[in-house]
Structure 1
Amino acid sequence: MLYRFDDLVLDTARRELRRGEALVAVEPQVFDLLALLVRARDRVVGRDEMLAAVWQGRIVSEATLSSRVNAARTAIGDSGAAQRLIRTLPRKGFRFVGAVAEVAQPPPEAADAPAAGRGPPALAVLPFANLGGDPAQDYFAEGMAEEILVALSRVGGLTVIARNSSFAYRDGAADLRRTGQELGVGYLLDGSVRRDGQRLRIAGRLVDAGSGAQLWADRFEGDAGEVFALQDRVAAHVVAAIEPALQAAEIGRARPGRLDAYDLLLRARALEAAFTAEGMAAALDCLGQALALEPDNAQAMAAAAYCHAQRHVQGWAPEDAAGRAEAVRLARAAAGCAPDDAQVLWMAAFALWNMAPEAGERARALFARSLLLNPNSAMALTLAGWIETMCGNGEAGRGMVARALRLNPRDPRGWLMTGTMAIAAVIEGDHAGAVAWAERALAQNPRFAAALRVLAVALVKAGQPERAARAVQDLLRIEPGLTVSGFFARIPVPLEAMARTYAEALRAAGLPE
C-alpha cells in the first residue's frame, strides 16, 4: 500500500519513505512506528500497541520510545514543537493527524518470489576509504575491510559475498541501493580510515541496501605502529556488534502474511527475544511450523531446542520427560546437520547442558567448537562462560563473559552477560559485587529468573534479608510454584559448595522447601 501525505510517499510493500524521487533514510523501527501511526490515523495509538507492533512486546524505556517518535517526526519534516503531522496526546499516546491518500499497489517482485527464494541475510563488505590522502595507507584500508570480511564469514546464518565481487567497488559506491542490487545483497558494510600522526581512526557502518537506512555505526582508534593488532581488534568488535544488529533488521523484514520456513524462523526469534512465557510458547509454535515445511532446517531445530531450554531455566514449562527428550533430540539433530554453523552449535550446547545433565561434556565440547568457528560471538562467549563458571572454572568463565562485554557493550542481550557475572561473583564470595551485577541484569530484563535467584542469594550473604525476601517474591511471581527442591531437581549445579550456598540462602530468603 502507498500512503501519500504532504510531499511524501510511504511505501509499505517496499518499506520505503520517499520525498519526490529522493529516498528518505529511515531506521526499521522508525519505519514500523510511522507505518503504524499512518494506518491507524483515525484513532490514538497507545504505548502498549506500539510495543506490540514495533518491538514485538519487548519492554523498552520511555526514552527509547520518545527517540523513535522524534526520529519519525524528523523523517517527515515534523517536530515535537509543531506536531503538524504526529500529535502527542499526554498520557494517551500518539495520533497521525495529516491528510493521507491511500493508493493500492501490487507488491514488488521480491514479495512475489516463491518461498524457496527466501533465505538467510546476504552482506557485502566494501573497500574502506582512505581519507588521509596518504597512498601508503591504502594497504591498511583494504586490509581492514578484508579482516572484517573474513571474520563475518564465520557468522552462522549469514552469506558474505566474496572479496573479488565486493572489492570491485574500490572507487566508492555512490548509490548504495544500486550496489546492493548489483551484488544481490540486502546489507552493505563500508567504512573509512584516517591517520593523524601515529594515530589511526577507523569508522564503520552497516547499511540496509534496500532503504539506505544506517543500522549500526561505530569508530575505533589505535596506534599506527600496531596495524595488525588494530585490524584484529576492530574486526572482532564489528562482528560482535553486527550479529545482533542484523538479526534485529531481519526480524523487521519478516512478512506476516508469508509462512515459509525463514519468515517463521524470524517471527520465532522476535517472540523469543520478548522473553515471556507466552512469547516462548508462541516461538516454539512458529518453529514447529517451520520444521514441518523444512524438517532438516538446522537453524530452526537449534532455535527450538534453545527455546525449550530457556523455558526450562525460567520455570515456564511443565517438567516432563517428553519435553526434555524433544529438546535433546532437536539439539543433537541440529548439531549433526550443521557442524560448522557456530550459532547452531551454541544454541544446541545450551539446550544439552540444561536438558540432559549427563551430556554436560558434550555441551562444553559444542561450545568450544562454536567459539573455534566464530571466536567473536558475544552470545557463545556468554553462555559458554556461564557453563564454565557453573563447573568451577570461574576465571575462564569470567574471562569469556568479560570479552563479550568488551566486544559489544550495547548488546540487547547484555542481561545474560551481567547475570552470568553475578553468578561468578557469588561463587567467589564477592557478594557485594554479585548484587551489583544482578541488579544491572534485572534493570535490563526484570524477568530473568537466574539473576533474581543469584540476587536473593547474594543479599542473604551480604546481610540484607529484607531485600532478599523481596527478590524471592519477585521470583515467585515469575514461577509461582518454585521450591528449593524443585530448583535443584531442574537446574544442574555441579559445584557442591555453590549448591549448599544457594540452598541455605534461598531458604533464608523465604523460598519454600
Structure 2
Amino acid sequence: MAVGAGNGNGQGRAECYRFGPILVDASAHALFRDGRPVPVEPKAFAVLLVLLRHAGELVRHGELLDEVWGHRHVTPGVLTRAVAQLRQALGDDPHDPQWIQTRHGLGYCFVGTLDAQPERRRTPAAADAADASPGPTSATSGTSPAAEGGATATQAPPPPAAPPTPVPASPPPAGTGERRVLAPDRRAATPGRRRWRWPLAAVVALGVVLAGLLLLWSLRDRAPLPAPSIAVLPFSALDGGRDDRYLAEGLARELHDALSGVHGLEVAAWQSPVEVAREDPRATGRRLGVATVLDGDVRLEGGRLRIHTRLTDVGSGETLWSRVYERDMARVFETQHEIAQEVVRRLVGALPDAGEGLRRRLAPTRSLPAFDAYLRGMQQLLRGGGDRERQAAAYFRQALAHDQGFARAQAGLCRVELWRFEAHRDANRFESARLACLRAENMDPTMGEVVLALGDLYRVQGEYERADEYYRRIENDPALRAQALIGRARVAAAQGRATLADAYLARAVEAAPSDADVHAHQGYQHYFAGRLPEAIASLARAAALRPGDAYILSTYGGMLLTAGRNREAEAVLERSLAIEPTEAVLSNLGTLKYQRGDYAGAAALYRQATTLNPGHFQIWGNLGDALLADPATRAQARDAFREAATLAERYVALRAGDARALAALGWYRANLGEAEAALDLVRRSEALGTEPAEVAYYNAETFALLGRHDEARRRIEAARRAGIAEVRITTTPILAAVLADDSRTTGR
C-alpha cells in the first residue's frame, strides 16, 4: 500500500513506498536502493508507480500502455523495455522475481510486500525539527533526560546509512504535550532571552542532511540523464532495378552488431525491415525508446559503392550528422569502420583502443568476394523461404572457397546444416553438420558466432549441460543474446523444464522483439508444452514480421490445422505455397485432403513432398496413413511405413529425446506387425513428458491398431486435453472406429 506523510504543515500527502532495500518517492521522482539513488527513465518510473498502486494485482499490458503512454504510437515492446529497466534498477531476477512478476501474455504484477508504514529514521534534521516543534512528552516527564541532567545540549545522532525519507515526519496533533527544546545554557538563561550552543558535529551533520534534501528536491522534476542510445535501421537499396538488398541490409546489420559491443552505448534490437518500412525513422526511435536513429541507403554500381548515412535526434528531429561515401567496393571495410567511429564519437566519445575493436569486428575477412558471399548467405536466412537454408549453405561455402579461414562463414554453415537436420528430420544431414561445426571451432573457438554454433551442436547431440554452458558464454553479447536465449530455452524444453524455457524465450523476445525467428521459436515452445492458442498467436506475429517466409507461413498454417481451424489453415498454406513449394506445406495441404476423405489426393501431395525431402520420416508416415485409409491402395501402405520406420530409427538414434519421433516410430512398427517394439516405443515416448498432444495422438493409433481399445480411449482423451482438434481425431479412421465402438457400447 502507499503510505503518506505530511508536508510539515499538516497539508497534503506525499506518495511514498518502501519494500526491502527499496524506497520510492513519487513526488520527487526518486528511487533509492540500499540508500543510494538509482536513475530510472520517466516512463519506467511511471510503470513502477502503476504496479505499486495495484500491488498484488495483475495489471494487464493494455492498462499499462493506456496509463503511461496513452496507447499512442507505441507497441508492447516499449513496455517490455521499461520493465526490463525496472528489474535492473530494483535488482530483480526475472527468472525468480522478488518484486515484479511477468504473467506471460497478460501483464505484470508487483508481488513484493510493501511496508505498512515507511521506516522513519530520526536523522539530524528530523531530530532537530522534532525538538523545535510541538511533540509528545516523555513517558515520564515533559522535559528531556538531558535537560533534567543539566547537560548543555543534546548530541545529534549519527547520519543513517540510507538517505532520509524526503518528506518530514508527520507532526503530532496539537496539544499533546509541551515543547521539547534542546537544553539551554542554564548559566545564561533569562526570562526574555535564550542562548543556544550546538556542537560542531551536529551542525555538520545537519548541513549534510539539508544538502541531501536539496538534491532530492532538485531531482523531483528532472528526469535522469539516459545513457546514449541508438537504433540502427536496415538501410534501403537504391539499386536501379537490381536487388542489392542483401548488401544494404547486410552492411546495416554489421554496423548494428559492432555498435552493440561498444561500452556505454545502448543499441536497440535489430528491427524487421517489414516493420521499419511502415514507420518514419523518428517514429521507430520513439517506439524503441532510443535517443538517436541511424539510417541510410546504399547503391552498388560498376564496382562503386555509394552509402548515404544519417544520424538523427529522435526528440528534436535534428540531423546530428550526415555523410555520403562514394568509393570503390574494395574499401567497404574502411567505410564501415569510419561510419561506426563517427557514430561512437558523437554519442560516447573517443574509445580507449582508438576504435580498433570496431575495426576488427567490421573486417571479419580480408577477401571482398568472401565477404560479399557471406552477406548473401545471411540475407538468404533473413529473407525467408523454404529453400533458404540450401541457398545460404551454398553462399557460405562460396565464402569459404575465397577465404578458408573465414570463421564467421564457417559458423554460419554449421548452424544452417544443423537447422536442416532438425527441420527436415533427416539423419543423413547430421554428419556434415557436425564436421562443419568442428571446423568452425578449429578456426576460432572464441568468436561469438562460433560459440553459438557449438552450443547448437551439443544441444542437437543431447549434451544439454555442455550446450547450455556454451550459450551462457555469449548471453551478454548484445548481438547474439536473443539467439543464445533461444538455445537455452530449447535446452530447458528438452529437459522437461517448460517454465524455465518460457522464461528464456520471454527474455529473447525482450532482446529482439522484431525478430520473426524469435517469435517462431516461442510459438513452437508453446506448442511443445501443449499451449496451442499461445503457439498460434506467436506464429501469427512471426508471419506478420516476415510475410514472405514460406517456412514460417507453413508452420503457422500447420498450427491452425492442428487446432482444427481448417479454413484459416488452408488460406495460410496457400500463401506459403505461392511463395515456394516446400515439403512442409505440401504435407500440410495433403493432411487437409486426408481429413476431407480425399485419400488419393492426399497421397499425391505426400509423394510430391517426399521428392523434395526424401529423408523426412514423418512425410513417409503420412503417405502410409493415406494409402492405408484408401481400400484401393491399402496394400501399398506397408512399403511407405517401412521407409518411414527406417528413417525414423536412424533419427531417434541421434535424437533419443524427441518424444513425437518415438511415438511416430511406434505407430510405424505397429503397422509392420512389430507389437512389442511398438509398445516399448509408446513407453519411451510417454516417459519423456514432452509434446503431449502429438504423443497421445500417435499412441492412441498404436493401441487401437493392436486391439487395446481401453488404452486407446485413454490416449484419445489425453490428446483432447492437450489440444488436439476433434476434427483430427474423428477423421482418423482407426480412432473413429474406436469412438464408434464406444457409441454402440453406451447406446449413444
Higher relative contact order (CA 8 A, sep 6+): 1
How does the TM-score come out when normalised to structure 2? 0.35
Structure with the greater alpha carbon radius of gyration: 2
Report the TM-score when normalising by structure 1: 0.49
